[in-house]
Amino acid sequence: MSSTNVLEIFSSVQGEGKYLGCRQIFVRLADCNLSCAYCDTDFRRADFCRIETFAGSMIFRDEKNPLDAAQVVDVIKNFSGTVPTQAVSFTGGEPLLHWQFVRDVAETVKNFGVKIFLETNGTLPDALEKILPTVDIISADIKLPSAGKNLFNLHEKFLRLAHGKDLCVKIVVANETTAEEFLAAVDLVARVDKKIFLILQPVTPTKNSCAASAEKILSFQAAALQKIKNVRVIPQTHKFIKLL
């Protein structure tokens, strides 16, 4: 079985996107292939993984990294046996950098009656292809050039592969987001499928990124609705109530 650097494992509420409010188990993996301007996640490798002592306690014990897949399966089995859980969410960083580990864990935990949820920046289509059969739900970002660099070709390849799964696409909108790049991203989604569930996520401000105005968010949603059937504005709700 594979092993990798895991940052934390806990049971909480999904704070973003289509499955907002669902009870999930989060497996947060280290490393990312991007460096977005608005990133607020510390994805550096750690000597120890924080593992919640029991589901929802927000009390943690430390386990030496790397963890092997069997250790993570045991934690998920314990949590999902305690609290009915909609999905196991692999997040990061970028979880597809650890596709082999995700696949090893996912293949076993599917038997516990939970879905496999992948939260990804949507830029590693080759890795996605390797684990596609084991994944049920995909939340894929489209990163806009103002957040770093133009990755639209990779995003389009990724979405064409992910299409057919339970897929939603997230675009983070900040003060610095331009209408031109936003509409180019919407066109990209529409080319793949106008029925893809599209989420505009107002940026949670960081020292490098400022909030977009309400007028901007509403005008972007109105423009996107001309091309995509289902466009929702959903912020990161877990931050309001200090959930993990």
Does residue 122 belong to the site contacting ligand SF4 (CB under 6 A)? Answer: no
Does residue 57 belong to the site contacting ligand SF4 (CB under 6 A)? Answer: no
Does residue 211 belong to the site contacting ligand SF4 (CB under 6 A)? Answer: no
Q: Which stretch binds ligand SF4 (CB under 6 A): 27-35, 73-81, 178-186, 236-244?
A: 27-35
Mark 147-186 with x for binding to ligand SF4 (rule: CB under 6 A) and - for no binding. Answer: ----------------------------------------
Give the end-to-end CA distance of the chain in Å, rounded to a whole number: 28
Does residue 134 belong to the site contacting ligand SF4 (CB under 6 A)? Answer: no
Does residue 199 belong to the site contacting ligand SF4 (CB under 6 A)? Answer: no
Tokens of 208: 């490098």
Q: Which stretch binds ligand SF4 (CB under 6 A): 14-22, 70-78, 86-94, 224-232?
A: 86-94
DSSP 174: B
Tokens of 29: 């993996």
Identify the CA nearest to 82 among candidates 105, 57, 101.
57
Tokens of 223: 């423009």
Shorter beta-carbon distance to ligand SF4: residue 10 or 43 = 43
Does residue 39 belong to the site contacting ligand SF4 (CB under 6 A)? Answer: yes
Identify the CA nearest to 209 among candidates 138, 136, 148.
148
DSSP 220: H
Identify the CA nearest to 170 among candidates 138, 128, 195, 148.
138
Q: Which residues bind ligand SF4 (CB under 6 A)?
A: 32, 34-36, 39, 41, 43, 92-94, 121
